[in-house]
Structure 1
Amino acid sequence: MVLFTKLLLAHLIGDFLLQPSRWVIHKEANKEKSRYLYLHVLLHFALIMLLVWDLQYWKIALVIATSHYVIDLAKLYVAPRFRLQSVPFFLDQVLHILVLYCCVYYGNLTEHTMALFQGLDWPLVTAIVFVSSPAAIIMGKLLEAMSDKIELDHKSLPNAGKYIGIIERLFVLMFIIMGRWEAIGLLIGAKSVFRFNDLKESNNRKLTEYILIGTLLSFGLAIITGIIYVNA
């Protein structure tokens, strides 16, 4: 685990802290002809050797550096095909981390992976999944009759309310598991403060009631889920 942590730290430093924007732009424009692509790969190799501080791991460093070159080059060619650049970005990061994992546990990769899955807290995983999209869909069905009577605010970001609800339910679940019930009150208070000006300006009682019911439903579902998990 220590080795994986060091390799991950080297990756984070090399990919984020020590990669200027001009390198990224130059790579996107010149692809395999970009000198910064090769400098970036060499930097990763050097960071791995520096953090591991053991010459016997040079082969692992070489494999990771080579795979980094291949993955980054593939990303440079594939990324323009995606409308959302976040998709190739996250795919790129996942592939890099998978390579690190495979290099560290290559001797017992299958056994270690199986042990990870068997050691998962499956009730917690289920609770996390439930308070995300399933809870949002349930709320949508419960509020369906009311939503038809509310005028849509076209100034809002697409699906912003959905994502805000998912994030707040995840926070509530985390606070319940930690036993920090007072933090839930602070979260409700913070949300109320941010919503106050919008509701005051709209002067729409139906919208106020709709948001209040939605907020209570969202927190209620998360609280019930947390209580069930803690007492299971």
Structure 2
Amino acid sequence: MVELFLMLILAHLIGDFLFQPTAWVKDKKKRKLKSKYLYFHVGLHFLLLLFTTQFNRHYLFAIILIVLSHFVIDSVKLFFEKKKTTKIWFFADQFMHFGVIAAVVYYYYPYQIPFEILYSSKSLALLTALILVTYVAAIVLKLMLSKWSVPIAKKNNNDTNNAGKYIGILERLFIFFFVLIDFWEGIGFLLAAKSIFRFGDLKESKDVKLTEYILIGTLLSFGLGILCAILYKQFVFFN
């Protein structure tokens, strides 16, 4: 089962990412079903699937089903995708492709999804910790740093985006998993790297409030990441 799944996934990744030039993508978006590259793309997937399954006739039904579904999914995406929904359609497209592969593997090798593991206390604790360390922590930090962030936003004409929010989420996730694997050196490296990238901004701005905002925000963010990780480890240890 695992071998078949890996063979099908490998073919998909090579066909959708490694062997799909940007020119093909642009032409497909422009010409849709009239684009020859749509059919080249589907044909390439067919050849890759044959190759990765070692031309085994036993999997011929799976190959045909995957190729046909790939054509349908890509065609639907081409007609309904807009500039504003590009990201959504990218992930939806990949999700549907992987769903078809999972269904095909199930047809040949029926398997059970261990839902009981998903509802175990450790899994629920991990999910809770991840939500806390990402989005809940982001809201808490926003409230705690409002004293500094509001004046800075006004000074910059509210010209802000959500990049800082997602950078904070990613850094806390790294910290969370660094603590779980007892790789405390990684936290020091992350702090040093962030300090280096921020040094130029602080040096040029010469803004005390901006400096305070960045330093306090960084320390609080790191502290929340470490705290959530330690609490999760303690919960797992006593359960």
Alignment TM-score > 0.5, same fold:
yes
Corresponding residue of 1:70: 72
Instruction: Report how many residues are paired.
Output: 230
1:199 aligns with 2:211: no
> Which stretch has the larger CA shift, 182-191 or 83-92?
83-92
Q: How far apart in 2 are the matches of 1:84 and 1:126?
A: 29
What is the alpha-carbon distance in structure 2 between the residues aligned to residue 64 and residue 34 of structure 1?
20
Q: Which residue of 2 aligns with 1:131?
A: 133
Shift of 1:71: 0.3
For residue 118 of structure 1, report the CA deviation from its aligned partner.
5.0
Q: Once structures 1 and 2 are overlaid, which stretch shifts more, 195-204 or 138-147?
A: 138-147
Q: Which residue identity lines up with residue 197 of structure 1 in the other structure? A: G
Between the aligned residues of both structures, percent identity stands at: 46
RMSD: 2.1
Q: Does 1:212 align with 2:231?
A: no
Residue equivalent to 2:180: 177
- CA drift at 1:226: 0.7
Match of 1:4 in 2: 5
SS at match of 2:151: coil
Q: Secondary structure at the match of 1:83?
A: helix
- Change in Cα spacing, 1:133 to 1:223, as seen in structure 2 (3 Å) is same
- Is the 8 Å Cα contact of residues 62 and 104 (structure 2) preserved in structure 1? yes
Cα 1:84–1:18 change in 2 (3 A) is same
Q: Does 1:91 align with 2:88?
A: no
Name the CA distance, whole Å, in 2 between partners of 1:154 and 1:4: 52
* Correspondence list, 1:26-175, <5 A: 26-53=27-54, 54-80=56-82, 82-106=83-107, 108=110, 111-112=112-113, 114=115, 117=118, 121-151=123-153, 152-153=155-156, 158-175=161-178
1:132 partner SS: helix
Q: Cα deviations across residues 46-84 of structure 1 (Å, max 9, x unaligned)?
A: 21121122220010111110100000000100113x414
Do the aligned residues in 2 keep the contact of 1:105 with 1:112 (CA within 8 Å)?
A: no
Distance, in Å, in 2 between the alignment partners of 1:35 and 1:155 is 46
Kindly report structure 1 stretches of 4+ aligned residues shifted beyond 6 Å.
Answer: none
Residue equivalent to 1:22: 23
TM-score (norm 1): 0.91
**What's the secondary structure of 2:81's corresponding residue?**
helix
Q: Which amino acid aligns with 2:127?
A: V
Unaligned runs of 5+ residues in structure 1 are: none
Q: Name structure 2 gaps, 5 residues minimum.
A: none
Counterpart amino acid of residue 114 in structure 1: F
Aligned-partner Cα distance in 2 for 1:144–1:27: 46
After TM superposition, the score normalised by the length of structure 2 is 0.88
Task: Give 1:40 shift.
Answer: 1.2
Q: Is the 8 A contact 2:178 2:187 kept in 1?
A: yes
